[in-house]
Amino acid sequence: MAILKVNPNRMELLKLRKRRAIAQRGHKLLKDKLDELMKQFLEQVRKNRKLRKEIEEKLAKAYQIFAIARSESSAEIIEEALLYPHMITTVKISEKRLMGVRVPEFETEQEGTFDCYGLSTTPAILDKALLSLNEIVPLLIKLSEAEKAVELIAVEIEKTRRRVNALEHVLIPQLNETVKYINMKLDEAERENRTRLMKIKEIVAQGSI
Protein backbone atom coordinates (compact mmCIF):
# COMPACT_ATOMS: atom_id res chain seq x y z
CA MET A 1 0.00 0.00 0.00
CA ALA A 2 1.31 3.34 -1.04
CA ILE A 3 1.74 5.95 1.57
CA LEU A 4 0.89 9.63 1.35
CA LYS A 5 3.59 12.07 0.44
CA VAL A 6 4.04 13.93 3.68
CA ASN A 7 6.94 15.06 5.79
CA PRO A 8 7.36 12.57 8.57
CA ASN A 9 7.10 14.92 11.50
CA ARG A 10 5.00 15.11 14.59
CA MET A 11 2.86 17.90 13.19
CA GLU A 12 1.88 15.80 10.16
CA LEU A 13 1.31 12.82 12.41
CA LEU A 14 -1.21 14.73 14.46
CA LYS A 15 -2.87 16.01 11.30
CA LEU A 16 -3.06 12.53 9.82
CA ARG A 17 -4.42 11.00 12.99
CA LYS A 18 -7.16 13.62 12.94
CA ARG A 19 -7.86 12.87 9.30
CA ARG A 20 -7.98 9.17 10.03
CA ALA A 21 -10.47 9.71 12.83
CA ILE A 22 -12.68 11.76 10.53
CA ALA A 23 -12.34 9.20 7.74
CA GLN A 24 -13.33 6.41 10.10
CA ARG A 25 -16.30 8.35 11.36
CA GLY A 26 -17.33 9.17 7.78
CA HIS A 27 -16.95 5.56 6.83
CA LYS A 28 -19.19 4.43 9.63
CA LEU A 29 -21.82 7.03 8.75
CA LEU A 30 -21.71 6.17 5.06
CA LYS A 31 -21.93 2.49 5.85
CA ASP A 32 -25.01 3.14 7.98
CA LYS A 33 -26.45 5.19 5.14
CA LEU A 34 -25.73 2.40 2.71
CA ASP A 35 -27.45 -0.14 4.94
CA GLU A 36 -30.51 2.07 5.28
CA LEU A 37 -30.55 2.79 1.55
CA MET A 38 -30.38 -0.91 0.82
CA LYS A 39 -33.27 -1.50 3.20
CA GLN A 40 -35.32 1.23 1.54
CA PHE A 41 -34.35 -0.01 -1.89
CA LEU A 42 -35.44 -3.58 -1.22
CA GLU A 43 -38.65 -2.43 0.32
CA GLN A 44 -39.38 -0.13 -2.62
CA VAL A 45 -38.51 -2.87 -5.11
CA ARG A 46 -40.88 -5.24 -3.36
CA LYS A 47 -43.63 -2.62 -3.43
CA ASN A 48 -42.94 -1.84 -7.08
CA ARG A 49 -43.06 -5.46 -8.08
CA LYS A 50 -46.48 -5.79 -6.48
CA LEU A 51 -47.73 -2.58 -8.10
CA ARG A 52 -46.32 -3.56 -11.48
CA LYS A 53 -47.96 -6.97 -11.33
CA GLU A 54 -51.26 -5.43 -10.38
CA ILE A 55 -51.03 -2.89 -13.21
CA GLU A 56 -49.93 -5.47 -15.75
CA GLU A 57 -52.92 -7.64 -14.90
CA LYS A 58 -55.27 -4.68 -15.17
CA LEU A 59 -53.64 -3.53 -18.38
CA ALA A 60 -53.94 -6.96 -19.97
CA LYS A 61 -57.61 -7.00 -19.06
CA ALA A 62 -58.18 -3.47 -20.38
CA TYR A 63 -56.35 -4.28 -23.60
CA GLN A 64 -58.49 -7.34 -24.05
CA ILE A 65 -61.69 -5.34 -23.64
CA PHE A 66 -60.32 -2.72 -26.01
CA ALA A 67 -59.41 -5.43 -28.52
CA ILE A 68 -63.02 -6.62 -28.35
CA ALA A 69 -64.30 -3.07 -28.88
CA ARG A 70 -61.85 -2.73 -31.75
CA SER A 71 -63.06 -5.94 -33.38
CA GLU A 72 -66.73 -5.03 -32.96
CA SER A 73 -66.51 -2.03 -35.23
CA SER A 74 -64.23 -0.71 -37.89
CA ALA A 75 -60.96 1.03 -37.05
CA GLU A 76 -62.30 4.20 -38.63
CA ILE A 77 -65.23 4.36 -36.24
CA ILE A 78 -63.09 3.84 -33.16
CA GLU A 79 -60.52 6.36 -34.30
CA GLU A 80 -63.19 8.88 -35.20
CA ALA A 81 -64.74 8.43 -31.74
CA LEU A 82 -61.43 9.22 -30.08
CA LEU A 83 -60.30 11.92 -32.50
CA TYR A 84 -61.19 14.90 -30.33
CA PRO A 85 -60.93 13.93 -26.67
CA HIS A 86 -61.98 16.45 -24.04
CA MET A 87 -60.53 14.90 -20.94
CA ILE A 88 -57.41 16.67 -19.75
CA THR A 89 -54.97 14.95 -17.46
CA THR A 90 -52.39 17.18 -15.85
CA VAL A 91 -49.37 15.85 -14.05
CA LYS A 92 -47.79 18.09 -11.43
CA ILE A 93 -44.22 17.21 -10.68
CA SER A 94 -42.64 18.05 -7.34
CA GLU A 95 -39.66 16.69 -5.44
CA LYS A 96 -39.36 14.88 -2.17
CA ARG A 97 -36.31 13.65 -0.29
CA LEU A 98 -35.90 10.02 0.50
CA MET A 99 -32.72 9.32 2.53
CA GLY A 100 -31.13 12.40 1.07
CA VAL A 101 -32.07 11.31 -2.45
CA ARG A 102 -34.20 13.72 -4.39
CA VAL A 103 -37.00 11.73 -6.01
CA PRO A 104 -39.84 13.09 -8.14
CA GLU A 105 -43.41 13.07 -6.97
CA PHE A 106 -46.20 13.05 -9.57
CA GLU A 107 -49.64 14.26 -8.84
CA THR A 108 -52.34 13.68 -11.46
CA GLU A 109 -55.50 15.64 -11.96
CA GLN A 110 -58.20 14.71 -14.44
CA GLU A 111 -60.66 17.18 -15.84
CA GLY A 112 -63.70 16.36 -17.94
CA THR A 113 -65.02 12.97 -18.97
CA PHE A 114 -63.52 10.42 -21.32
CA ASP A 115 -66.68 9.83 -23.36
CA CYS A 116 -66.04 12.31 -26.13
CA TYR A 117 -68.01 10.36 -28.73
CA GLY A 118 -71.58 9.71 -29.77
CA LEU A 119 -73.18 6.71 -28.09
CA SER A 120 -75.34 5.69 -31.05
CA THR A 121 -72.85 4.41 -33.58
CA THR A 122 -69.95 3.28 -31.39
CA PRO A 123 -69.91 -0.18 -29.78
CA ALA A 124 -71.22 -0.22 -26.20
CA ILE A 125 -68.18 -2.09 -24.97
CA LEU A 126 -65.98 0.90 -25.88
CA ASP A 127 -67.17 2.61 -22.67
CA LYS A 128 -66.00 -0.35 -20.60
CA ALA A 129 -62.62 -0.41 -22.38
CA LEU A 130 -62.03 3.30 -21.88
CA LEU A 131 -63.24 3.17 -18.29
CA SER A 132 -60.69 0.50 -17.46
CA LEU A 133 -57.91 2.30 -19.35
CA ASN A 134 -58.86 5.50 -17.57
CA GLU A 135 -58.51 3.81 -14.21
CA ILE A 136 -55.06 2.60 -15.17
CA VAL A 137 -53.56 5.96 -16.20
CA PRO A 138 -53.10 7.32 -12.62
CA LEU A 139 -51.72 3.92 -11.60
CA LEU A 140 -49.21 4.01 -14.45
CA ILE A 141 -48.06 7.46 -13.38
CA LYS A 142 -47.75 6.20 -9.81
CA LEU A 143 -45.71 3.26 -11.07
CA SER A 144 -43.42 5.52 -13.06
CA GLU A 145 -42.90 7.63 -9.94
CA ALA A 146 -42.03 4.55 -7.88
CA GLU A 147 -39.74 3.09 -10.55
CA LYS A 148 -37.90 6.38 -10.97
CA ALA A 149 -37.43 6.51 -7.19
CA VAL A 150 -35.94 3.00 -7.25
CA GLU A 151 -33.65 3.99 -10.09
CA LEU A 152 -32.45 7.08 -8.25
CA ILE A 153 -31.96 5.13 -5.02
CA ALA A 154 -29.94 2.57 -6.96
CA VAL A 155 -27.69 5.31 -8.32
CA GLU A 156 -27.27 6.71 -4.82
CA ILE A 157 -26.46 3.24 -3.45
CA GLU A 158 -23.83 2.81 -6.12
CA LYS A 159 -22.33 6.20 -5.30
CA THR A 160 -22.37 5.57 -1.56
CA ARG A 161 -20.90 2.11 -1.98
CA ARG A 162 -18.05 3.54 -4.04
CA ARG A 163 -17.38 6.10 -1.33
CA VAL A 164 -17.51 3.48 1.42
CA ASN A 165 -15.14 1.28 -0.54
CA ALA A 166 -12.79 4.15 -1.26
CA LEU A 167 -12.67 5.01 2.43
CA GLU A 168 -12.44 1.42 3.58
CA HIS A 169 -9.94 0.07 1.10
CA VAL A 170 -7.94 3.13 0.02
CA LEU A 171 -7.98 6.15 2.24
CA ILE A 172 -8.09 4.56 5.69
CA PRO A 173 -5.37 1.95 4.92
CA GLN A 174 -3.28 4.72 3.36
CA LEU A 175 -3.67 6.87 6.42
CA ASN A 176 -2.89 3.89 8.65
CA GLU A 177 0.21 3.12 6.65
CA THR A 178 1.36 6.73 6.67
CA VAL A 179 0.75 7.08 10.38
CA LYS A 180 2.70 3.87 10.90
CA TYR A 181 5.48 5.14 8.64
CA ILE A 182 5.72 8.47 10.43
CA ASN A 183 5.66 6.69 13.78
CA MET A 184 8.51 4.50 12.62
CA LYS A 185 10.43 7.48 11.29
CA LEU A 186 9.90 9.37 14.51
CA ASP A 187 10.92 6.37 16.57
CA GLU A 188 13.97 5.98 14.40
CA ALA A 189 14.84 9.64 14.88
CA GLU A 190 14.31 9.20 18.57
CA ARG A 191 16.60 6.19 18.65
CA GLU A 192 19.23 8.02 16.61
CA ASN A 193 19.05 10.90 18.99
CA ARG A 194 19.35 8.65 21.96
CA THR A 195 22.38 6.89 20.50
CA ARG A 196 23.94 10.23 19.69
CA LEU A 197 23.31 11.45 23.19
CA MET A 198 24.76 8.29 24.63
CA LYS A 199 27.84 8.68 22.44
CA ILE A 200 28.26 12.33 23.44
CA LYS A 201 27.84 11.34 27.03
CA GLU A 202 30.55 8.69 26.56
CA ILE A 203 32.94 11.19 24.89
CA VAL A 204 32.26 13.74 27.57
CA ALA A 205 32.91 11.10 30.20
CA GLN A 206 36.23 10.05 28.55
CA GLY A 207 37.27 13.72 28.23
CA SER A 208 36.59 14.33 31.86
CA ILE A 209 38.82 11.42 32.87
Q: Which residues here bind another protein, judged by CB under 8 A?
A: 64, 67-68, 70-77, 79-81, 83-86, 113, 115-121, 123-125, 127-128
CB nearer to another protein: give 86 or 96.
86
CB nearer to another protein: give 127 or 168.
127
Kindly provide the residue ranges of all beta strands, DSSP E only, lying in 27-182, ordered along the sequence.
88-98, 101-111
With a CB cutoff of 8 Å and minimum separation 6, the contacts of 145 are 103, 104, 105, 106
Q: Which is nearest to 33 in space by CA: 134, 140, 153?
A: 153
Min CB(63)–another protein separation in Å: 8
Min CB(89)–another protein separation in Å: 17
End-to-end alpha-carbon separation of the chain, Å? 52
CB nearer to another protein: give 65 or 179.
65
Min CB(116)–another protein separation in Å: 5
CB nearer to another protein: give 6 or 87.
87
CA angle 168, 23, 13 (to 5 degrees): 110
